[in-house]
Amino acid sequence: KNGVIHAVDAVLEPPSFNKNIMATISGNDDLSILTSLLDAAGLGDVLAGKGPLTLFAPSDNAFESLLQGTIEFLLLDESRDVLTKILEYHVLARNGVSSSLTNGSTMTLSGDALSISLENTVDDSTIVVADIIASNGIVQ
């Protein structure tokens, strides 16, 4: 009465199951600035490597809301450490499926604590797309 069942001859998997985090975000036009910054910071290999990892992925809109000149500053060779620390702050060294996140703080790759709320917020930023599963972790 409430739906239809279709039997299939194979297990269906989202395309991201066969891609690591870096490959998954590289194909997303709304994450192009993040992808470029991760490559510039040398973190592309980390997010393409062994997991489990969770990436809280700022959208291009989030980066575009920064003060004018901020991205250009972060891309300077002398700012590489700052860029790396900022981006590592968006990565957990564990699977962080939204249903497993709890109120409180958790450590990031940068070594700093990230505040998580069950209202789908991370350090007062709203998670707009949750639980994109990749072969080596999760993208939020």
* pLDDT tens digits, 50-105: 999 999 999 999 999 999 999 999 999 999 999 999 999 999 999 888 888 888 99
Express as a percent the part of the chain with pLDDT over 70. 98
Q: What is the pLDDT of residue 15?
A: 67
Task: For 25-55, give the DSSP string.
Answer: HHT-GGGHHHHHHHHHHT-HHHHHSS--EEE
Q: pLDDT tens digit string along 15-26?
A: 667 899 999 999
Tell me 98's DSSP state: G
CA angle 33, 35, 39 (to 5 degrees): 115
Q: How far apart are CA 43 and CA 21, in angstroms?
A: 11
**Out of 26-30, 34-38, 82-86, least confident range:** 26-30
So what's the pLDDT on residue 37? 97
Placement of tokens 């709890």 in the chain? 102
The pLDDT assigned to 42 comes to 95
Indicate whether 121 pLDDT > 90. Answer: no
Q: What pLDDT was estimated at residue 114?
A: 92
Which sign does the torsion angle of CA 133, 114, 33, 85 carry? negative
For the chain, list the strands marked E by DSSP: 53-55, 91-92, 104-107, 113-117, 121-122, 125-126, 132-134, 137-139
